């Protein structure tokens, strides 16, 4: 069998579909309302793909002690295919064309008498395909390439299996297995508003978004996340607004940029932590996502060179987000710096709890002096890399760098 690898295009499809590309197949999904029973559809392709994930067990039995506590022991560079070891008696053997050969301590081999051959996992590689010999002095030309075995370590997959699974995932048909529903706001999400990997799709705003109960909520946020996000192909600008209110340190953080290779988006997160006595440290210390009772009404509109990419209306939230298909600077590759993210601007409004909280937030907003770009910061020899000057001042709230106040609602724009 040809030892095929996954192409870059297929790997990209796997990553993108798993996280965001739900809209490509939404028309093929069975979707009910939140008040009705959920409907699922199982396709032939889906059933076939599941067989690759959980194939029917094929036990391999130790010819010495009879145990089935056996695992594949193939090692890189071996000239034969099926190599097994028994965990109960440490007996090792390999199989070629249905004939088993014992592997002795001195490296020699001998035929295993009265061995009943049970087809098991066959390890395929370019070296074994091209070799003309083996330790058992038998030909390797008649190889089994599609059988699998479930052993102590689990299910082994051949490259054929991986290719089939990749095709299945990149087709988006796996989404037919998920219990979707449309809520009263036109959002396509799943049971418990958890979405797929924490994301849903808004049919009104035409964008992906983080669901109210996304798994990310459990992990809060700290500066370390911004310093490592570029390693998972996320490129963005970000601003932190810090203030103190009701004996807690609060952090409202803003992001905009390129998410992976296929999405442009923006985020606003609200976090806090208990105020430490005499301390107001905002370094790498961890902040928790706010509780439900502490969420704030937040709106979000993302522009690219004055063109609206999406607009999310004001909603009580701890993490207001939006993501749409697109790329910033295609020729720049996966990671893009501030030269490209600077084409994006965000207008948002946040309604605070009361006048005290509003004034505290405005104080934090006016204390902002810079924007951080996680890709520009990848210059290890320059501790100031990644930062550029930026500040807020009173204004119309629409011009970048200005904010306006109406009651307890603060409107601002940044770029």
In this structure, of 14-23, 71-80, 123-132, 184-193, the range with the lowest mean pLDDT score is: 123-132
pLDDT of residue 32: 46
| CA 298 to mean position of chain CA atoms | 25
Q: Is 230 strand, coil or helix? A: helix
Mean confidence (pLDDT) of the chain: 74
Strands (E), 44-193: 70-72, 82-86, 92-96, 99-103, 109-111, 150-151, 154-155, 180-182, 187-190
Q: Does residue 28 carry a pLDDT above 80?
A: no
Residue 44 is assigned to a structural domain of this protein: no
Domain boundary among 89, 117, 147: 147
pLDDT category at 106 given cuts 50, 70, 90 is low
Residue 182 lies in a domain: no
314: pLDDT confidence band, cut at 50, 70 and 90?
Answer: very high
Average pLDDT over residues 119-143: 38
For the chain, what percent of residues have pLDDT higher than 70? 65
172 part of a folded domain: no
Q: Is residue 119 part of a domain?
A: yes
Supply angle C-alpha 317, 311, 30, rounded to 5: 80
Task: Report the pLDDT value the prediction gives residue 261, as an integer from 0 to 100.
Answer: 79
Task: Please tell me whether residues 369 and 263 are part of one structural domain.
Answer: yes
Pick from 147, 174, 199: which residue ends a domain?
A: 147
pLDDT value of residue 359: 98
Residues 252 and 394 in one domain: yes
State how many domains the chain has: 2
The range of the structural domain enclosing residue 100 comes to: 70-147
Q: What is the mean pLDDT of residues 164-185?
A: 71
The distance from CA 169 to its chain's CA centroid, rounded to whole angstroms, is: 14
Show the tokens assigned to 135: 């330790």
The residue ranking higher by pLDDT, 48 or 116, is 116
Q: Is the pLDDT of residue 251 over 70?
A: yes
Asked if residue 20 belongs to a domain, the reply is no
Distance from C-alpha of 31 to C-alpha of 36, rounded to nearest angstrom: 10
Ranges 33-37, 164-168, 317-321, most confident: 317-321
* Cα–Cα distance for residue pair 316/355, rounded to 1 Å: 18
Query: Which range in 8-17, 115-124, 173-182 is most confidently predicted, on average pLDDT?
Result: 173-182
Whether residues 241 and 358 share a domain: the answer is: yes
pLDDT at 169: 67
**Boundary residue ending a domain (89, 118, 147):** 147
* Cα 370 to Cα 388: distance, rounded to the nearest angstrom: 5
Mean pLDDT of 8-24: 39
Asked whether residue 395 is domain-assigned, the answer is yes
CB-CB contact of 121 with 149 (8 Å): yes
Q: Do residues 132 and 232 share a domain?
A: no
Predicted confidence (pLDDT) per residue in 284-311, tens digit: 678 999 999 999 999 999 999 989 999 9
Question: Are 251 and 349 in a shared domain?
Answer: yes
Query: Are residue 254 and residue 127 in the same domain, yes or no?
Result: no
Q: Which residue has the higher pLDDT, 234 or 6?
A: 234
User: Is 255 among the domain residues?
Assistant: yes
Tell me what pLDDT residue 369 has.
97
Q: What is the pLDDT of residue 76?
A: 66
Same domain, 310 and 404: yes
pLDDT at 208 > cutoff 80: yes
Which single residue is written with the structure tokens 């976090």?
271
Domain membership flag for residue 209: no
Q: What is the pLDDT of residues 391-408, one digit of tens each?
A: 999 999 999 999 999 999
- pLDDT tops 80 at residue 16: no
pLDDT band at 179, cuts 50/70/90? confident
Give yes or no: residues 306 and 404 share one domain.
yes
What local confidence, expressed as pLDDT, does residue 96 receive?
A: 80
What is the reported pLDDT for 77? 66
Pick from 48-62, 194-208, 230-244, 320-334 the range whose average pLDDT is largest: 230-244
């Amino acid at each position: 069998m040809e030892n095929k690898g996954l192409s870059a295009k297929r790997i990209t499809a796997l990553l993108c579909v798993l996280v965001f590309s739900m809209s490509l197949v939404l028309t093929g999904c069975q979707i009910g309302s939140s008040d009705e029973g959920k409907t699922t559809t199982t396709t032939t392709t889906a059933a076939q793909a599941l067989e690759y994930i959980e194939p029917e067990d094929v036990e391999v039995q130790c010819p010495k002690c009879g145990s089935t506590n056996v695992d594949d022991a193939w090692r890189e560079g071996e000239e034969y295919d099926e190599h097994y070891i028994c965990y109960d008696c440490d007996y090792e053997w390999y199989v070629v064309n249905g004939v088993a050969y014992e592997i002795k301590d001195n490296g020699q081999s001998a035929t295993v008498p009265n061995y009943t051959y049970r087809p098991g996992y066959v390890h395929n590689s370019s070296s074994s395909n091209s070799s003309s010999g083996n330790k058992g002095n038998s030909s390797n030309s008649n190889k089994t390439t599609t059988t699998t075995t479930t052993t102590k370590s689990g299910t082994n997959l051949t490259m054929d299996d991986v290719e089939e699974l990749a095709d299945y995932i990149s087709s988006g048909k796996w989404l037919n297995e998920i219990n979707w529903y449309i809520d009263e706001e036109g959002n396509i999400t799943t049971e418990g508003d958890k979405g797929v990997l924490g994301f849903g799709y808004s049919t009104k705003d035409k964008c992906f978004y983080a669901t109210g109960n996304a798994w990310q909520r459990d992990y809060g946020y700290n500066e370390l996340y911004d310093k490592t996000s570029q390693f998972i192909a996320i490129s963005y600008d970000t601003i932190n607004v810090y203030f103190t209110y009701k004996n807690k340190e609060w952090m409202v953080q803003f992001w905009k940029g390129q998410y992976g290779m296929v999405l442009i988006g923006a985020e606003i997160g609200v976090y806090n932590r208990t105020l430490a006595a005499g301390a107001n440290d905002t370094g790498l210390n961890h902040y928790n996502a706010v509780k439900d009772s502490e969420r704030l009404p937040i709106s979000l509109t993302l522009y690219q060179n004055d063109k609206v990419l999406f607009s999310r209306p004001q909603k009580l939230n701890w993490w207001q987000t939006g993501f749409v298909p697109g790329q910033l600077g295609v020729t720049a590759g996966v990671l893009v710096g501030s030269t490209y993210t600077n084409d994006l601007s965000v207008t948002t409004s946040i309604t605070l709890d009361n006048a005290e909280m509003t004034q505290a937030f405005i104080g934090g907003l006016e204390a902002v002096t810079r924007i951080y770009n996680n890709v520009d910061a990848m210059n290890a020899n320059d501790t100031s890399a990644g930062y550029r000057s930026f500040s807020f001042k009173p204004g119309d709230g629409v011009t970048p760098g200005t904010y306006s106040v109406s009651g307890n609602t603060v409107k601002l724009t940044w770029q």
